[in-house]
């Protein structure tokens, strides 16, 4: 038996945002989840204290947005069971009140038609409005939108990028996090505080934490005089207490563990404040990310996550319960309720997903090979050296944790091993490891993947002639860069890949338009690096065939990147295939696409490794064999 593509589609993705709400009858939990079988929409779900669940969003509505193209926090529950959310189709904000006896009512728009997008929604206590980051073209501001409709008030116009709007307990100040080009939010951000005027707009602000080389990832008011901030002046995202009177901030978690992550999506949360004053926190490494409770007075940190070995970047507290999203190597990301004081066993509140037999799932092993972090997933039924695929994460400022991933199991259950490489530049291991990639993109990532591949051969696990590499987005870049700048890989699969850095920097969206300043170097001063590292300009050196997969609505990496690269491969007699998917953006969301992509990838490995793959449609490579 093997994992089926449809099994992968049904467990692809996971809950993204979670919120606990205290009610007289107990704690409600809200979350959003992917629905690949419903066109890839994200549906908000509400779980009542009695354990019953209901979709809080009617069919046909999709709680997503395109702020900085990756989207951000897209909904918040309203008192009484209502909902405010961003809708994918028109990017407007909507209010949804429950209809008596029949569940969700009819969403009503509360923002005007137009090009504006909204994200990182926040409900300031005591105000009948929702705060959000508004993006109009390449301009962003923090706005207040009346929940009953009406004129939108601009609260803050400051840095080029904004997130994390928060009102002080007395309602007199607003805090936010901002940054400017060429920084990315994991490079350097500023935690700002400004007085709120009577008209709801912010006065002159001051920076209370952060800077060009310090990344503040989240901030929450402790009281009117101080904030808790997840920031990294020590090189690790720790929890700090930041005072507004100018006195020195205090690191509450002085340890070499990450209590934050890269802010790819505005609205992620790594800490939440309980009524007791304690902080629920997620922290650790990609090998083991924990859920804990921090006493900010004593510094005591208690782990409460029970058997889950990974907790994602969303946490909420209400009524003595912590709502978060946890997983293990054998169970998917699931919305869980954990008792704040007792911890331990978690109550799974999201609906169970059908899982394959445990015998079909690989047992992961966290290893370090020549200083490179990796997770190994052995192939099923293979004795001795076997075929392996190096999995490369996107970002590149990101990581792949140890959680149940049926995409990996799809291949391992068919006798193909997988090695996930968290190369230099990955998050979760401190700033120094992250900055190994500074000005070295296309060099360090390629070298690290090659090191792990060679290490697998030396360990007797991999057949040196049967090692492939694959990845998506920035991982797709590393895939094609490894094909043209090393001789280790027999072939590669690149999902929505960057293939030429200079043209991508010119054509991509605003958020990442200066990303390459730090990854490669500023233009035009370092153009030689771009030329030397460009897979497009070095396609003639490809060590093996390449399968390119791309969505036709991708606004982050245009399909032209794949088209130009395969044209160069063809020009130089290299083997290739390019498959495109209408209706897909930067990543696969639709059930039929997820199935088709997996089948094509398996067919490619069948050709590459000399394996029979009769269960999937055949794939034809163009170019000379």
Residue 45 near residue 56, CB atoms below 8 Å: yes
Judged against a pLDDT cut of 90, whether residue 2 lies above it is answered with no
pLDDT recorded at residue 100: 60
Lowest mean pLDDT among 112-116, 123-127, 224-228, 342-346: 342-346
Distances (CA, A) of 28 to 48, 51, 148, 185, 534: 5, 9, 24, 32, 51
Q: Which candidate, 497, 466, 513, places its Cα nearest to that of 580?
A: 497
Judged against a pLDDT cut of 90, whether residue 119 lies above it is answered with yes
Judged against a pLDDT cut of 70, whether residue 101 lies above it is answered with no
Residue 493 near residue 470, CB atoms below 8 Å: yes
Q: How do residues 535-583 score in pLDDT, each as one tens digit?
A: 999 999 999 999 999 999 998 999 999 999 999 999 999 999 999 999 9
Mean of the pLDDT values across residues 371-398?
Answer: 96
Bridge partners, 549 (sequence order): 495, 579
**Dist CA 499 CA 479 (whole Å):** 9
β-strands 546-551, 82-86 pairing? unpaired
Q: What are phi and psi of 313, to 5 degrees?
A: -85, 60
Q: How do residues 64-94 score in pLDDT, each as one tens digit?
A: 999 999 999 999 999 989 999 999 999 999 9
Q: The tokens of 516 are what?
A: 């390459």
**Dist CA 164 CA 120 (whole Å):** 7
Per-residue pLDDT band for 402 (boundaries 50, 70, 90) equals very high
**Using the 8-state DSSP alphabet, how is residue 160 labeled?**
S
Judged against a pLDDT cut of 60, whether residue 102 lies above it is answered with no
Element (H, E) at 399: none
pLDDT recorded at residue 625: 62
**Using the 8-state DSSP alphabet, how is residue 592 labeled?**
H
Cβ atoms < 10 Å from Cβ of 55: 15
pLDDT recorded at residue 623: 82
Q: Which residues of 389-402 are buried (b: 16+ CB within 10 A; e: fewer)?
A: bbbbbbbbbbbbbb
Question: With pLDDT > 90 as the criterion, what percentage of the chain qualifies?
Answer: 89
Q: Where are the beta strands (DSSP E) in 473-530?
A: 491-495
pLDDT recorded at residue 345: 63
Sheet of strand 161-167: strand arrangement: 161-167, 173-179, 190-195, 206-210
Q: How do residues 145-196 score in pLDDT, each as one tens digit?
A: 999 999 999 999 999 999 999 999 999 999 999 999 999 999 999 999 999 9
Q: How do residues 313-365 score in pLDDT, each as one tens digit?
A: 999 999 999 999 999 999 999 999 999 988 766 788 887 777 888 999 999 99
Phi-psi region of 553 (alpha: psi -120 to 50; beta: other; left: phi over 0): alpha
Residue position matching structure tokens 């928060």? 166
Q: Which residues contact 122 (CB under 8 A, 6 or more apart)?
A: 73, 76, 130, 131, 132, 165, 166
Q: How do residues 10-34 score in pLDDT, each as one tens digit?
A: 776 789 999 999 999 999 999 999 9
Q: How do residues 520-535 score in pLDDT, each as one tens digit?
A: 999 999 999 999 999 9
Bridge partners, 191 (sequence order): 177, 209
């Amino acid at each position: 038996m093997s994992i089926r593509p449809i099994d992968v589609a049904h467990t692809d993705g996971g809950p993204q945002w979670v919120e606990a709400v205290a009610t007289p009858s107990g704690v409600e939990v809200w979350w959003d989840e992917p629905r690949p079988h419903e066109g890839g929409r994200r549906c908000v779900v509400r779980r009542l204290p009695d354990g019953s669940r209901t979709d809080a969003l009617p069919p046909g509505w999709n709680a997503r947005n395109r702020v900085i193209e990756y989207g951000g926090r897209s909904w918040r529950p309203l008192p009484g069971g209502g909902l405010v959310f961003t809708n994918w189709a028109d990017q407007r904000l909507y209010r949804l009140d429950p209809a008596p006896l029949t569940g969700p009512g009819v969403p009503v728009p509360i923002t005007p038609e137009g090009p504006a997008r909204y994200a990182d929604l926040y409900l300031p206590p005591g105000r009948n409005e929702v705060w959000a980051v508004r993006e109009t073209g390449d301009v962003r501001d923090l706005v207040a939108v009346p929940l009953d409709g009406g004129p939108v008030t601009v609260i803050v116009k400051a840095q080029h990028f904004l997130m994390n709007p928060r009102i002080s307990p007395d309602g007199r100040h607003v805090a936010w996090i901002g940054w400017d080009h060429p920084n990315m939010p994991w490079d350097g951000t500023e935690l700002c505080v400004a007085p709120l005027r009577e008209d709801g707009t912010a006065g002159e602000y001051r920076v209370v934490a952060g800077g060009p080389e310090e990344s503040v990832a989240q901030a929450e008011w402790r009281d009117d005089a101080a904030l808790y901030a997840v920031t990294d002046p020590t090189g690790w995202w720790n929890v700090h207490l930041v005072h507004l009177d100018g006195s020195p901030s205090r690191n509450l978690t002085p340890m070499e563990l990450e209590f934050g992550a890269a802010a790819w999506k505005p609205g992620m949360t790594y800490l939440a404040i309980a009524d007791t004053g304690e902080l629920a926190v997620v922290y650790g490494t990609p090998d083991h990310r924990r859920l804990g409770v921090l006493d900010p007075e004593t510094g005591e940190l208690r782990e409460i996550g029970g058997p889950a070995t990974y907790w994602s970047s969303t946490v909420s507290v209400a009524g003595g319960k912590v709502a978060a999203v946890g997983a293990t190597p054998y169970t998917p990301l699931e919305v869980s309720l954990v008792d704040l004081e007792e911890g331990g066993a978690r109550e799974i509140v999201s609906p169970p997903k059908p899982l394959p037999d445990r015998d079909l799932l690989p047992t992961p092993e966290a290893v370090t090979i020549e200083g490179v972090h990796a997770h190994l997933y052995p192939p099923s039924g293979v004795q001795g050296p076997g075929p392996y695929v190096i999995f490369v994460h996107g970002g590149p400022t990101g990581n792949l944790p140890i959680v149940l991933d049926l995409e990996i199991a799809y291949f391992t259950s068919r006798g193909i091993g997988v090695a996930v490489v968290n190369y230099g530049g990955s998050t979760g291991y401190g700033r120094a490891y992250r900055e190994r990639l500074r000005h070295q993109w296309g060099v360090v990532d390629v070298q690290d993947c090659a090191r792990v591949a060679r290490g697998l051969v030396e360990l007797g696990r991999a057949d040196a002639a049967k090692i492939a590499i694959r990845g998506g987005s920035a991982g797709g870049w590393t895939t094609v860069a490894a094909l043209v700048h090393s001789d280790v890989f027999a072939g590669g699969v690149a999902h929505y890949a960057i293939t030429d850095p200079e043209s991508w920097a010119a054509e991509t969206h605003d958020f990442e338009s200066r990303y390459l300043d730090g990854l490669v170097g500023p233009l035009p001063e370092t153009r030689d690096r771009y030329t030397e590292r460009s897979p497009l300009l070095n396609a003639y050196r490809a060590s093996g065939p390449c399968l390119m997969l791309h969505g036709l609505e991708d606004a982050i990496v245009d399909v032209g990147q794949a088209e130009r690269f395969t044209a160069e491969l063809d020009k130089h007699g290299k083997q290739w295939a390019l498959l495109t998917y209408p209706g897909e953006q930067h990543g696969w969301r639709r059930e039929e696409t997820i199935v088709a992509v997996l089948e094509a990838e398996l067919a490619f490995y069948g050709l590459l490794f000399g394996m029979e793959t009769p269960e999937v449609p055949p794939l034809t490579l163009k170019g000379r064999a």
